[in-house]
Amino acid sequence: MQNYHGTCCITGMQIPKLLIASHIKPWKASTPNEKTAASNGLLLNAFHDRVFDQGLISIDDDYRIMVNHDKVRHSDINDR
């Protein structure tokens, strides 16, 4: 929460009850140091945390969202 000043790194949302500290490298695949390293985390709102965790999106170093089109089909609503 502190590293992102209580703000979702994708949307800018600042509603604490809807923000989740998400691991970039999954917990089960992380070393003990990575599990607690702030650099292995993103602060996301609940929706984006879920789609990130499910591999539907990824985020590049400039915080641009990359959609996994193998898992998310193209449609007008999905593309928005």
pLDDT band for position 56 (cuts 50, 70, 90): very high
| Residue 26, pLDDT above cutoff 90 | no
The token pair at 32 is 């003990």
| Residue 3 identity | N
Q: How many CB atoms lie within 10 A of CB 25?
A: 14
What pLDDT does 36 receive?
86
Query: Residues 32-58: what's their mean pLDDT?
Result: 92
Residue listed under structure tokens 């789609």: 51
Pairing of strands 41-45, 19-23: antiparallel
Structure token pair of residue 55: 């591999």
Assign 16 a pLDDT band (cuts: 50, 70, 90): very high
